[in-house]
């Protein structure tokens, strides 16, 4: 008996719908009322049928002949993905990068709020100026559970990243963004991890530059 985690939607579709959501938020603020799949596609660099296909997974959303109502489509995506209420996040590792992230404590217009910071160096906790609550790293599991923190950003050295991830998972975290240049895995299989390795991305980019073939056809 194997434990399996599946997604009711393909990963690429989830990603694109999130991008669409972000664009819709901006359009809404600008007062745009309706938009077609073609226009959405142009703005996002995605084919129009791709947009329609993705949107169709949400159930009926558009008006044949006149496109999508911005508010309605945004609401449908929010409903499916549980957007709307502010999500709590935390940062583990308060070096330069972690401090930089904590600085801007509200992300994406109130969608996410950083409510806790952790570091293993207790002296450091006292020197950082912020109105976010800071805790020693050994309290990660406890604080994440108690505060109901759903998302975490890891900016600790590679050597500690996996251990930190395990503690977060024990606390009941839902997703982790990992900046340590090491692939972090989750013990539980319904916890999602996004590894963001800057050096790794630079490496991939330079590999692509090297192997890219440009030609006229």
Partner DNA sequence: TAGATTGTTAATCGATTAACAATC
By CB under 7 A, name the binding residues for DNA.
10-13, 36-38, 46-50, 52-53, 55-56, 60-68
| Binding of residue 58 to a second copy (CB under 8 A) | no
Residue 207, H or E segment:
helix 198-211
Please name every residue paired with 34 in a beta bridge, in sequence order, or none if there are none.
69
184 binds a second copy (CB under 8 A): no
Select from 28-36, 48-56, 138-146, 193-201 the region that touches a second copy (CB under 8 A): 193-201
**Residues 105 and 80 sit within 8 Å (Cβ to Cβ):** no
- Kindly state the smallest distance separating residue 122's Cβ from DNA, in Å: 44
> 214: Cβ–Cβ under 8 A, 6 or more apart, which residues?
none
Choice from 21, 68, 118, 135 touching a second copy (CB under 8 A): 21
Dist CA 195 CA 98 (whole Å): 15
127's contact among DNA, a second copy, none, with CB below 5 to 8 A by partner kind, is none
E strand segments, 82-160: 87-92, 106-107, 112-119, 133-136, 151-154
- Return the range that interacts with a second copy (CB under 8 A); candidates 47-55, 102-110, 125-133, 164-172: 102-110
* Partner in contact with 134, chosen from a second copy, DNA, none, beta carbon below 5 to 8 Å by kind: none
- Applying the rule CB under 8 A, the residues between 133 and 172 that interact with a second copy are 150-151, 153
Say how far residue 81 (Cα) sits from the centre of its chain: 12
């Amino acid at each position: 008996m194997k434990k399996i985690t599946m997604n009711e939607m393909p990963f690429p579709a989830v990603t694109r719908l999130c991008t669409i959501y972000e664009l819709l938020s901006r359009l809404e603020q600008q007062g745009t009322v309706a938009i077609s799949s073609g226009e959405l596609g142009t703005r996002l660099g995605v084919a129009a049928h791709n947009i329609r296909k993705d949107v169709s997974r949400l159930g009926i959303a558009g008006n044949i002949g006149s496109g999508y109502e911005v508010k309605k489509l945004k609401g449908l995506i929010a409903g499916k993905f549980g957007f709307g209420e502010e999500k709590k996040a935390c940062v583990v590792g308060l070096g330069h990068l972690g401090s930089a992230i904590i600085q801007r404590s509200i992300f994406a217009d109130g969608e996410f709020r950083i409510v806790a910071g952790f570091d293993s160096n207790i002296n450091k906790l006292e020197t950082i100026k912020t109105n976010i609550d800071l805790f020693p790293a050994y309290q990660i599991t406890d604080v994440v559970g108690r505060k109901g923190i759903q998302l975490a950003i890891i900016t600790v050295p590679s050597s500690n990243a996996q251990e930190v991830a395990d503690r977060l998972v024990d606390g009941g975290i839902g997703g982790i963004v990992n900046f340590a240049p090491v692939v972090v895995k989750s013990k539980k299989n319904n916890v999602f991890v996004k590894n963001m390795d800057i050096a790794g991305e630079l490496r991939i980019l330079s590999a692509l530059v090297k192997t890219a073939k440009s030609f006229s056809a």
